[in-house]
Amino acid sequence: MRILLVEDEAALAQRLREALVDAGFVVEPVADGEEALHLGKIEPYDAVVLDLGLPRMDGVSVLQRWRSAGIETPVLVLTARGRWPEKLAAFSAGADDYVTKPFEVQEVIVRLRALMRRAAGAPSAAIECGPLRLDTTSGSVTVDGAPVRLTTHELRILEYLLHRRDRIVSRLDIIDHVYDRDFDRDSNVIDVLIGRIRRKITVDVIETIRGQGYRMSSKSR
């Protein structure tokens, strides 16, 4: 899952970035409001971490412009302690959740995962598709209760397909959401990874849609 991280304090941005990458996210860091506004409009992120006090354009204005442009990506706002009017402004601009500085980075991760699950229509920590189950908190995958071991990239792809289940996702969609922007987009590595995931999970829940991509569904065929 791909995250836009908007934070201008370099040390905090670095700490958040490392923790998010460790948690398996693809992270794109930016340090000013105008660039955040631009990237949020053109790039398909799964969630945004948005500081409110930013150079060039404040976070509330960025959020207002995304929402009025129809961008519905879940947004977690970072606010300073005691700034209640700022929090209210962020919520009325369309924020989905907030954490108050100083915070534990793990709290940011837990809240982001909850936002993305809600956006995918799955309120609990687990996402299921037939006998396949992913615990999004621990990153553990089971089939009929038996654990399946996946590599980081296999897990990212599986998680993305589960968040989009019953919908067709193209190879480019998958690349956009599970790899950094400099990834070679002509690569057929996605097909290779999907093949490996299928062999590991053994259940037939990932359908190939010819000429379009893949669809995860418990009722394929």
Return residues touching Ca ion (CB under 5 A).
8, 51, 53
Give the shortest CB-18-to-Ca ion separation in angstroms: 18
Give the shortest CB-158-to-Ca ion separation in angstroms: 35
Point out which residues pair with 37 in neighbouring strands: none
Give the shortest CB-59-to-Ca ion separation in angstroms: 8
Helices (H), the chain: 10-22, 33-42, 59-68, 84-93, 105-119, 152-163, 171-178, 189-201
Give 66 or 214: the residue with its C-beta nearer to Ca ion. Answer: 66
Read off φ and ψ for residue 73, nearest 5 degrees.
Answer: -55, 135
Give the shortest CB-54-to-Ca ion separation in angstroms: 6
Give 55 or 195: the residue with its C-beta nearer to Ca ion. Answer: 55
CA nearest to 12, candidates 141, 105, 136: 105
Give 98 or 160: the residue with its C-beta nearer to Ca ion. Answer: 98
Minimal CB distance residue for Ca ion: 53
Give the shortest CB-9-to-Ca ion separation in angstroms: 5
3-state secondary structure of 154: helix
Cα–Cα–Cα angle for 116, 121, 126, nearest 5°? 70
What contacts 41, CB < 8 A, 6 or more positions away? 66, 69, 71
Give 100 or 220: the residue with its C-beta nearer to Ca ion. Answer: 100
Give 3 or 36: the residue with its C-beta nearer to Ca ion. Answer: 36
